[in-house]
Amino acid sequence: MSLHLRQQQQPQPPPPPSVDPYPLSPRAAVYGMPHRPMSSFLLGRAGLLAVLSLLVLLGVFLPWSGPMAALFSSSSSSHLGDSHGSLSRWKDYTLAQAAAFAARNGTVVVCAVSWPYLPFLNNWLISVARQKRQDQVIVIAEDYATLYEVNRRWPGHAVLVPPAPDSQTAHKFGSQGFFNFTSRRPRHLLHILELGYSVMYNDVDMLWLSDPFPYLKGKHDVYFTDDMAAVKPLNHPHDLPPPGKKGRTYICSCMIFLRPTRGAKEVMRSWIEELQNQPWSVKRKSNDQPAFNWALNKTAGQVDLYLLPQAAFPSGGLYFKNESWVKETKGMNVIIHNNYITGFDKKIKRFKDYGLWLVDDHSHESPLGQI
């Protein structure tokens, strides 16, 4: 359902920004010049030609000084993201600004990532870039190291929504840290909806095999996938499935598409309310997905819901564990979710076994490059 990593294998965050303790004084070159009367320089023939040449150069290039300065400033920010000015800029960057920057046709694609998950982010981004959707991506960074690193490599695509949880360490599934991390999701999505954008949310242990947007048929409020491994008919209904043994459905909260409608906003508010009513405890060890299902079940009569086709959006329990079904649906699969497994190494090995771990040989296809 989500990523589970072991701390000893996490990449280390970059060191804090440093400042050159011995900056070059702008006056050093002047002081280093031998003294010469200015009048003799200006009155000489060579001096006069130099002055005229300088005036010509200024006349040609001065009008470009503003745009060029901005260009080099932007370049410096992208390649030297650890400068103080650049860090301050991204610290104050808002979700509204990020959405306005990334939206295409009123739609953004969102993931939430902390530092340990950067390899999975890069793997997912390669698959998104192959479908020409990378420009729509907003990476909601859950720590400042991730915010600065992503924006250093790919300016404008990462944003941190305060307060930042302690996410530079991987939180074990079922822990309070994991609950705190995932429970922020509906608030982020509701904010984007209230800004007027449609939004697709993905966990980064997913991989796109083709473009999912053609499958978002109609004008429904909320689109989602079933997390069950039981095989459905290829032409199965698109209504919310019936509740399971626990009295609720088993819809995955890791792949959602929302339109900025009253109904979608109501589902997000209900999800937030369910999380507040079912807080984490040592006994319950809850996560965000049951609350999402209760929200769907309670609003089903008021909201236009749409279950995406299982053949296109299978759970990991189906895709990785039912070989005959995979053969039957070959060419139909759109997004693969590497769930129904825990552990950093196990997830990567499974992706590699199925030829879905792209970062080793295709990192140049990611907007982040090699991490």
> What would the 3-class secondary structure string for 24-86 be?
CCCCHHHHHCCCCCHHHHHHCHHHHHHHHHHHHHHHHHHHHHHHHHHHHHHHHHHHCCCCHHH
pTM equals 0.76
- Give, in words, the CATH class of 88-365: alpha beta
Tens place of pLDDT per residue across the chain (371 aa):
444 333 334 445 554 444 333 333 333 333 333 344 444 444 455 555 555 555 544 444 444 333 333 333 443 333 334 444 567 789 999 999 999 999 999 999 999 999 999 999 999 999 999 999 999 999 999 999 999 999 999 999 999 999 876 555 544 544 444 444 457 899 999 999 999 999 999 999 999 999 999 999 999 999 999 999 999 999 999 999 999 888 889 999 999 999 999 999 999 999 999 998 876 555 565 667 899 999 999 999 999 999 999 999 999 999 999 999 999 999 999 999 999 998 889 999 999 999 999 999 999 999 999 98
Structure tokens at 71: 């260009």
How far is Cα 304 from Cα 311, in angstroms, rounded to an integer?
A: 22
Q: Tell me which residue of 1, 218, 195, 193 sits closest to 97, measured CA to CA.
A: 195
- Residue 359 pairs in a beta bridge with none
Q: Tell me which residue of 96, 74, 94, 95 sits closest to 85, measured CA to CA.
A: 74
Structure tokens at 195: 């800004």
